[in-house]
Structure 1
């Protein structure tokens, strides 16, 4: 007997929830493969560019940066477990894609500092760089029994986004 597919058809509610997680996140877990091919995880600062694509500010001396520069395939997990209840019932979004190094432009720097003001202490250090994650697919776990496969279009990636005032 064939098991029913646990992945629900993607709907507007799932798109809104995923896009909200993506654009509200300030930190993420970054999964990379080290030089031996072993998966590793690191907590990283997270933001989005003007088209809503994921951005990271990383140091060249960090093992996860070295890993993603050697092999740009990576994954991100965004969404916080919350303060109450079972952490597995809180929504979270996994993004799979490839990292690309970006120039540290004034526009990108200002956008980053808007959401991460404390990074002003180190953003201009020579070993810090921006990485953009070009997303191939997403997976939303919106809570118990709410699993969705998402495309970059479902996530609103590539569409210009306006900043909200903090």
Structure 2
């Protein structure tokens, strides 16, 4: 039993080859969706190559996109241009910083790595889920202020 438990923590990362090279493209499009196209909550499922998106216009229903849809610049045509909300608790610069940190966390270690990352700009919450750990939810301010201490 202990051996099996140890094996869980020694499981090495098997990146979906689809997510390795286009991660910058995914994050650039995610930034555009959050900052310019009316998306207030975005969850990137790195392990399954999907993204879940919530919009201001339809906050009770999310849209699920597979990687091919996410990296296609035409995805932006599905979402109308919207001004960045004054009520947002996250600045546009913080959106970029959070996604840059997600990139680092995705590849930070072969045994402990980011499986999913979410950002809600309206309530200022980051959600992260790791390969060998549970889910964590914290404010964007906490996530950014403590990033180097906690994750590097």
TM-score by length of 2: 0.32
**Structure with the higher fraction of residues in strand conformation:** 1
Q: TM-score, normalised by structure 1?
A: 0.30
Q: Answer 1 or 2: which has greater helix percent.
A: 2
Higher relative contact order (CA 8 A, sep 6+): 1
